[in-house]
Amino acid sequence: MRPPCDPSKFVADAVKNIPPSGIRRFFDLVSGLEDIISLGVGEPDFITPWHIREMCIHSLEKGQTSYTSNYGLPELRDALSRTYYRRYGLDYDPSSEILITTGVSEALDIAVRTVVNPGDEVIIVQPAYVAYVPSVILAGGKPVIVSTYREDDFSLTAEALKPAITDKTKAIILNFPNNPTGAIMTQEELEDIADLVVENDLFVISDEVYECLTYEGKHVPFSSLDGMKDRTVMLNGFSKAYAMTGLRLGFAMGSPEIIHSMMMIHQYSMLCAPITAQIGAIEALRNGNEEMERMVREYDRRRHFIVRGFNRIGLECCNPKGAFYAFPYIGNTGLSSSEFAERLLDEKKVVTIPGDVFGEAGEGFLRCAYAASIDDIRKALERMEDFVDRLKQ
């Protein structure tokens, strides 16, 4: 009889070193519970608009189920190029500067792997989406954390960024509008960051998936700043703006050198994004603005409602100017973020995400998605108010 083996010894060290997703761990606690109100899911509660679904259905009926170019359908890349030129005056060549990916998650993964060599330092601005640190670790890089604070409305300042830059720094990952804080950056603030990028010869991976969910001011793509187009790869997708999460479609825009290199990884790991989703995305770009704007107006209404609610019940909440998350402060309750979220779920059946999941800078906060109906938000606030009042007794 051959001896048994321990399969864990075959797992790569890089994989062993990545932290488990705090979001997934928390949702495991919800499994099987009833009477749950969820403010936890970072996903639109709207159904993909019918005209987009109809185009996907029609494409299947016509038998359009083939592979596409590794770069994605030319019609989709052309539509994206026209869209970004119209919105921001950005001129991306659809034949060489745009890559269609399977969700923004794939775009992030291959962007990091394209840029990062083993030992390179990558600055990650926290609180931040949970995938950034693991992506850098899996590429052999070293995450360097720069924290933002509620006193600055969670915006990144050049003063906070500068001390983190060393001779090993290769890139910065930015995410504005931000998940989980809802923070945005003004053009003036971004210009200060751009000066540091040039001064230190850095590259920027800019995750702008919440671009269209900007409620105050106007979104400023980092690549639209003077001299930043060749120093930036912009990541975006269709999940948030068009409620197309399950269709898994993202894209990257950057210089031909970066996009071609990303495609070299993409062609072996994914080959191409699903053609059905790409066809739906073309329809979204051509005819989806009215529905998108309707959804954004509703998010904006919920944003005001939930922020007023949190401040009324004693959980101080900054005004989120983008995305669909509120980030109330619970540090004065005597509980940690995880303790508060777990007890709130156990005692009041309300799902939130503890802020420390998004980095140490998130401790003392909760991420609460207002991608839920006003009625559900109202009920959640009532339960949370009762929970907070009981903590004071």
Per-residue pLDDT tens over the stretch 231-276 = 999 999 999 999 999 999 999 999 999 999 999 999 999 999 999 9
Q: Where are the domains of the chain?
A: 6-46+288-387, 61-286
Average pLDDT over the chain reads 96
pLDDT over threshold 80, residue 336: yes
- What's the CATH number of domain 6-46+288-387, 3.40.718.10, 3.40.50.1100, 3.90.1150.10, 3.40.50.1110? 3.90.1150.10
Percentage of the chain modeled with pLDDT above 70? 100
Residue 226 DSSP SS3: coil
> What is the residue-wise DSSP string for 223-289?
GGSTT-GGGEEEEEESTTTTT-GGG--EEEE--HHHHHHHHHHHHHHTSS--HHHHHHHHHHHHH-H
**Residues 336-360, mean pLDDT to the nearest whole number:** 96
Give Cα separations from 185 to 172, 192, 221, 306 (angstroms). 15, 11, 10, 22
Residue 107: predicted pLDDT: 98
The pLDDT value given to residue 17: 82
Average pLDDT over residues 104-123: 98
**8 A C-beta contact, residue 359 and residue 340:** no
Q: Which CATH number fits domain 61-286: 3.30.930.10, 3.10.20.30, 3.40.50.920, 3.40.640.10?
A: 3.40.640.10
pLDDT in tens, 167-205: 999 999 999 999 999 999 999 999 999 999 999 999 999
Confidence of residue 123 (pLDDT cuts 50, 70, 90): very high
pLDDT in tens, 75-111: 999 999 999 999 999 999 999 999 999 999 999 999 9
The yes-or-no answer to whether 6-46+288-387 and 61-286 have a common fold is no
Contact 242, 52 (CB under 8 A): yes
pLDDT in tens, 268-297: 999 999 999 999 999 999 999 999 999 999
